[in-house]
């Protein structure tokens, strides 16, 4: 008798109901969300694809960065995560998951919107890990605005500092330290391809990330270093409940996708693992969409 494959319906694999309206002050704490995002804490199983690797992940305390951090540790990597000091409670949880997987965990709180801190972040991660060969830029700033006339210059600049300038500062500092075979993974969004009217500044930064990463990949290919982009669709993370979406949009968040639900961070972990691994040795300057069917166009 043969065993039947245990197929899982993607429509119902994760939460597909209405979310409760909920608001937290930026940057938010994932552990206080309802429901708490699934970052693969119980589900991700590793198989040694990143054994001995050294990764720095921004935004590694929660959401997509957290899912990548947990997956990397279970694949055999040591991991340093960056986050804002207000997110310490979430970061401490991630540290426990990394260490439970047998990896070294390094916590490096601080604001990547500051160039001097970005240089310090890379240096400290490299020293604490004893090297660096994976760089994941997952941290992001997202605040909705209904009208350009109401969009403050301070918010516009801050969104670019966190989403674009920090990417430039961190990668520039890290490149002299990265060996051949290293991988850089940036995080864009479906908003780069199908920008929504409420996210003018955010969508602009996500387009910039795509252009920057593709150009960078061609520049650093001669060094044997790859650079790729992950572009998520609507994913249930703290970004959404700290002003990333209007409260009246929260209950139906993600329902507009063909799969009729929002994604969970755990559903992106495998892509980040693949792009960091040697399995992707001929993959660079690419954009990988994880959008629930809202394809990149």
Nearest one of 123, 124, 72 to 98, comparing CA atoms: 72
pLDDT of residue 2: 62
Domain assignments of the chain as residue spans, ordered by start = 41-284
187 three-class SS: strand
What are the residue numbers of the active site? 202
Using a 10 angstrom Cβ sphere, with 0-12 exposed, 13-18 middle and 19 or more buried, the burial of residue 256 is middle
Q: How do strand 54-58 and strand 134-137 relate by DSSP bridges?
A: parallel
In whole angstroms, how large is the CA radius of gyration of the chain? 18
pLDDT of residue 297: 77
pLDDT of residue 5: 80
| Per-residue DSSP letter, 110 | -
**Lookup result for tokens 């039947």:** 4
**Lookup result for tokens 């921004």:** 58
CB of 250 closer than 8 Å to CB of 22: yes
pLDDT of residue 4: 77
Q: Up-side HSE of residue 78: CA atoms within 13 Å toward CB?
A: 15
Residue ranges in the chain whose pLDDT is less than 70: 1-2
Phi-psi category of residue 130: left, alpha or beta, with phi > 0 → left and psi -120 to 50 → alpha = left
Q: What is the pLDDT of residues 30-56, one digit of tens each?
A: 999 999 999 999 999 999 999 999 999
CATH top class, domain 41-284: alpha beta
What are the C-alpha distances in Å from 185 to residues 4, 56, 163, 257? 36, 11, 13, 25
pLDDT of residue 35: 98
- Please list, in sequence order, all residues whose beta carbon lies within 8 angstroms of the beta carbon of residue 153, skipping any fewer than 6 positions away: none
pLDDT of residue 142: 98
CA 274 to centroid of chain Cα atoms: 14
Q: What tokens appear for 217 in the block?
A: 């990949």
Segment holding 289, helix H or strand E = strand 287-290
244 three-class SS: helix
Cα gap 9→195, rounded to integer Å: 29
Q: What is the pLDDT of residues 20-30, one digit of tens each?
A: 999 999 999 99
CB of 69 closer than 8 Å to CB of 81: yes
Length of the chain: 297
pTM (predicted TM-score)? 0.97
Instruction: Say whether the peptide bond before residue 35 is cis (omega within 30 degrees of 0).
Output: yes
Cα gap 186→13, rounded to integer Å: 27
């Amino acid at each position: 008798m043969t065993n039947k494959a245990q197929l899982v319906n993607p429509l119902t694999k994760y939460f597909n109901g209405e979310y409760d309206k909920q608001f937290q002050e930026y940057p938010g704490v994932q552990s206080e969300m309802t429901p708490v995002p699934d970052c693969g804490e119980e589900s991700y199983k590793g198989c040694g694809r990143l054994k001995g690797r050294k990764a720095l992940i921004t935004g590694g305390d929660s959401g997509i960065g957290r899912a990548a951090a947990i997956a990397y540790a279970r694949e055999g990597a040591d991991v340093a995560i960056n986050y804002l000091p207000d997110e310490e409670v979430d970061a401490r949880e991630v540290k426990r998951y990394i260490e439970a997987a047998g990896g070294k965990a390094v916590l490096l709180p601080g604001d990547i919107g500051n160039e001097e801190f970005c240089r310090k972040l890379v240096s400290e991660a490299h020293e604490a890990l004893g090297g660096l060969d994976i760089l994941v830029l997952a941290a992001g700033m997202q605040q909705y605005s209904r009208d350009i006339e109401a969009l403050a210059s301070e918010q516009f600049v801050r969104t670019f500092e966190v989403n674009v300038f920090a990417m430039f500062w961190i990668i520039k500092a890290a490149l002299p330290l990265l060996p051949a075979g290293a991988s850089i993974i940036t995080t864009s969004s479906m908003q780069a391809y199908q920008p929504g009217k409420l996210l003018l500044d955010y969508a602009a930064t996500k387009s910039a990330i795509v252009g920057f990463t593709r150009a960078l990949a061609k520049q650093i290919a001669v060094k044997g270093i790859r650079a790729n982009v992950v572009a998520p669709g609507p994913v249930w993370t703290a970004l959404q409940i700290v002003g990333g979406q209007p409260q009246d949009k929260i209950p139906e968040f993600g329902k507009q996708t063909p799969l009729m639900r929002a994604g969970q961070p755990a559903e992106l972990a495998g892509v980040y693992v693949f792009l960091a691994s040697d399995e992707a040795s001929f993959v660079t300057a690419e954009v990988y969409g994880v959008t629930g069917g809202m394809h990149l166009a």
